[in-house]
C-alpha cells in the first residue's frame, strides 16, 4: 500500500512540475500591451534593434502589423526597421497560414531558416481568413506544426497568432478557434500575438465582441481623439494598424527582457477571475470557481496537456458574482479521461485565463 501511494505521489509531482514548466512564461501581446508600448525603455528598444532578424509570412491582413511598424517609424526614427545593421531586419513572404490543415508554410519556413545568408532568429505567420472556417483538428495541426518547428530550431523565436475578427461574435467558430489557440499558448509557454484581441478593444477599455476586421470602433474613437494617419491599412482603419505596430514592439521587448504586460496608466482589468480548482489533484470530481465583475458571456473549456479540447463546461450568459462548476473527469461524449494534467480555460468578454489541474485515478 505504501509503495502504491509513493508511486502515485511521484506521478503527481512529475505532472505538476511539467505543467508548471509549460505554463510559467507564456508571453501574449494583446490590447493591454498597446498601452504598455510607451513604457518600453529606450535602452530596450536599442536591444530589440540589435537582436531581431525576422521572417514574416503574411498576405493582406497580416500586413497590418507592418503598416503599424511603418507608422511608428514615420513618427520616430527610434522605431526604424530595415535601415541598416543597427535596426530590425524584417523579410516578408507573400503567403499565410491558409485554411483547414494547410501546412504548406512549414517547408517554406524550413527553407528560409536553413539558408545561412538570412541568419534568421524569429518566425511569424499570420492568418488571412483561414482561422474563421477552420476546425479544432485543423487548428491542432497548425499548433503541432509550429511546436515541431520550435523543437527543430531551438534558437529561433516562433510567434503564434490568432485570426482577425470576422463579425461572427462570441457564438461564432472564429471565437472558439481563437480561444483554442490562446489556451494552447498559455498552457504550453508559447509567444502569442493576439491579433483578434487587439482589434476587439478600444483604448478606453470598451469591448466589441461582434466587431469585424474593418474596426468600426476605430473611426468612432478617432473622432474624439488624436489618431495618426497612414496611406492604407489593409481591410481596416489606420488606428487598428497603429495599435498592432505598438503591440509588436512590446512583444519584441517582452521576449527579450521579460517586461511585464501590465499597463501602468489606465489598466484595463479583466471582468473575470478564475480560481484554482478544488480538490487538486482530484478523482473523479473537482470544483472550478470563477468570479465575474458583471454579467458576461462565459465559455469554460477543458483541454489536455497537448491542447486538445476535452469538454465544454459552460457556454452561456452568466450573471455577476461567484460561480462554481463541477467537472466529473469525462469528455463531451461521457468518456472517462485518463490520469494526467489538464488545463481549464475561462473566456469572458474577451479576457482569457487558464489554470492547470491534475486528474489522478
The answer to whether residues 96 and 210 belong to one domain is: yes
Long-range contacts of 207-212 (CB under 8 A, 24+ apart): 207/349, 207/350, 209/169, 209/170, 209/175, 209/297, 209/349, 209/350, 210/167, 210/168, 210/169, 210/170, 211/165, 211/167, 212/165, 212/166, 212/167
* 10 part of a folded domain: no
The answer to whether residues 291 and 187 belong to one domain is: no
Total residue count of the chain as it appears in this document: 361
Query: Residue 340 has what pLDDT?
Result: 87
What CATH number is associated with residue 171? 3.40.50
* 126 part of a folded domain: yes
* 20 part of a folded domain: no
Q: Of 235, 257, 279, which marks where a domain is finished? A: 257
The answer to whether residues 161 and 298 belong to one domain is: no
CA gap 346, 168 in Å, rounded = 19
Question: pLDDT band for position 95 (50/70/90)?
Answer: very high
CA gap 209, 198 in Å, rounded = 11
| Contact indicator for 268, 343 with CB cutoff of 8 Å | no
Query: Residue 47 has what pLDDT?
Result: 87
Domain residue limits at 107: 26-257
Total structural domains within the chain: 2
Angle, CA 91 vertex, CA 88 and CA 156 arms, to 5° = 70
The answer to whether residues 249 and 307 belong to one domain is: no
The answer to whether residues 236 and 308 belong to one domain is: no
What percentage of the chain exceeds 90 in pLDDT?
Answer: 70
Question: pLDDT band for position 306 (50/70/90)?
Answer: low
Lowest mean pLDDT among 9-23, 75-89, 245-259: 9-23
Task: Specify the 3-state DSSP secondary structure of 355.
Answer: strand
**Dihedral sign from CA coordinates of 206, 210, 215, 219:** negative
| Contact indicator for 71, 245 with CB cutoff of 8 Å | yes
* 265 part of a folded domain: no
Residue range 335-343: average pLDDT?
90
Question: pLDDT band for position 147 (50/70/90)?
Answer: very high
The answer to whether residues 245 and 287 belong to one domain is: no
Write out pLDDT tens, residues 59-90.
999 999 999 999 999 999 999 999 998 999 99
What CATH number is associated with residue 274? 2.60.40.4070
The answer to whether residues 88 and 166 belong to one domain is: yes
Query: Residue 257 has what pLDDT?
Result: 76
CA gap 270, 264 in Å, rounded = 15
Query: Residue 350 has what pLDDT?
Result: 61
The answer to whether residues 126 and 228 belong to one domain is: yes
Write out pLDDT tens, residues 32-59.
999 888 888 888 899 899 899 999 999 9
The answer to whether residues 184 and 293 belong to one domain is: no
Question: pLDDT band for position 180 (50/70/90)?
Answer: very high
Lowest mean pLDDT among 10-24, 78-92, 330-344: 10-24
CA gap 337, 54 in Å, rounded = 41
| Contact indicator for 182, 345 with CB cutoff of 8 Å | yes
Q: Of 193, 226, 257, which marks where a domain is finished? A: 257
CA atoms within 13 A on the CB side of 349: 19
Name the residue with cell 479521461: 337
Write out pLDDT tens, residues 261-278.
443 333 334 467 889 999
| Contact indicator for 92, 65 with CB cutoff of 8 Å | no
Strand-pair partners of 354:
345
pTM of the entire predicted model? 0.71
DSSP of 220-231, one letter per residue? HHHTTS-----S
* 16 part of a folded domain: no
pLDDT at 123 over 70: yes
Contacts for 86 with CB less than 8 Å, ≥ 6 apart: 49, 50
Query: Residue 304 has what pLDDT?
Result: 85
Residue range 90-98: average pLDDT?
97
Report phi then psi at 350, rounded to 5: 90, -20
* 147 part of a folded domain: yes
The answer to whether residues 195 and 337 belong to one domain is: no
H or E segment and range at residue 273: strand 272-274
DSSP of 34-93, one letter per residue? HHHGGGS-HHHHHHHHHH-EEEEE--TTTHHHHHHHHHHHHH-GGG-BSSSTTSBEEEEE
The answer to whether residues 240 and 323 belong to one domain is: no
The answer to whether residues 252 and 277 belong to one domain is: no
Between 304 and 131, where is the model more confident?
Answer: 131
| Contact indicator for 288, 325 with CB cutoff of 8 Å | yes
Query: Residue 271 has what pLDDT?
Result: 62
Q: Of 228, 257, 286, which marks where a domain is finished? A: 257
Lowest mean pLDDT among 230-239, 240-249, 250-259, 274-283: 250-259
Write out pLDDT tens, residues 155-176.
899 999 999 999 999 999 999 9
pLDDT at 253 over 80: yes
* 3 part of a folded domain: no
pLDDT at 201 over 80: yes
Amino acid at each position: 500500500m505504501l509503495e502504491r501511494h509513493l508511486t502515485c505521489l511521484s506521478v503527481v509531482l512529475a505532472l505538476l512540475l511539467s505543467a508548471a514548466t509549460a505554463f510559467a512564461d507564456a508571453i501574449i501581446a494583446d490590447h493591454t500591451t498597446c498601452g504598455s508600448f510607451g513604457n518600453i525603455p529606450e535602452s530596450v528598444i536599442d536591444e530589440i534593434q540589435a537582436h531581431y532578424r525576422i521572417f514574416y509570412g503574411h498576405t493582406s491582413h497580416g500586413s497590418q502589423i507592418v503598416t503599424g511598424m511603418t507608422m511608428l517609424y514615420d513618427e520616430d526614427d527610434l522605431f526604424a526597421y530595415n535601415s541598416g545593421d543597427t535596426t530590425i531586419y524584417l523579410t516578408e513572404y507573400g503567403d499565410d497560414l491558409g485554411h483547414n490543415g494547410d501546412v504548406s508554410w512549414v517547408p517554406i519556413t524550413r527553407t528560409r531558416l536553413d539558408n545561412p545568408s538570412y541568419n534568421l532568429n524569429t518566425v511569424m505567420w499570420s492568418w488571412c481568413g483561414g482561422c474563421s472556417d477552420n476546425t479544432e483538428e485543423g487548428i491542432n495541426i497548425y499548433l503541432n506544426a509550429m511546436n515541431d518547428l520550435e523543437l527543430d530550431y531551438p534558437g529561433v523565436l516562433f510567434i503564434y497568432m490568432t485570426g482577425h475578427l470576422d463579425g461572427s461574435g462570441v457564438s461564432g467558430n472564429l471565437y472558439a478557434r481563437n480561444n483554442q489557440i490562446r489556451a494552447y499558448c498559455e498552457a504550453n509557454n508559447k509567444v502569442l500575438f493576439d491579433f483578434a484581441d487587439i482589434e476587439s478593444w478600444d483604448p478606453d477599455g470598451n469591448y466589441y465582441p461582434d466587431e469585424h476586421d474593418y474596426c468600426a470602433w476605430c473611426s468612432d474613437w478617432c473622432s474624439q481623439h488624436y489618431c495618426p494617419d497612414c496611406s492604407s491599412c489593409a481591410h481596416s482603419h489606420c488606428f487598428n494598424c497603429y495599435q498592432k505596430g505598438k503591440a509588436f514592439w512590446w512583444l519584441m521587448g517582452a521576449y527579450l527582457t521579460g517586461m511585464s504586460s501590465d499597463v501602468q496608466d489606465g489598466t484595463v482589468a479583466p471582468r473575470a477571475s478564475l480560481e484554482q480548482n478544488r480538490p487538486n489533484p482530484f478523482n473523479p470530481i473537482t470544483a472550478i470557481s470563477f468570479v465575474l465583475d458583471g454579467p458576461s458571456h462565459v465559455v469554460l473549456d477543458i483541454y489536455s496537456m497537448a491542447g486538445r479540447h476535452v469538454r465544454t463546461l459552460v457556454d452561456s450568459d452568466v450573471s455577476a458574482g461567484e460561480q462554481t462548476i463541477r467537472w466529473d473527469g469525462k469528455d463531451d461524449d461521457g468518456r472517462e479521461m485518463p490520469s494526467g494534467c489538464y488545463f481549464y480555460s475561462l473566456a469572458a468578454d474577451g479576457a482569457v485565463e487558464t489554470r492547470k489541474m491534475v486528474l489522478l485515478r
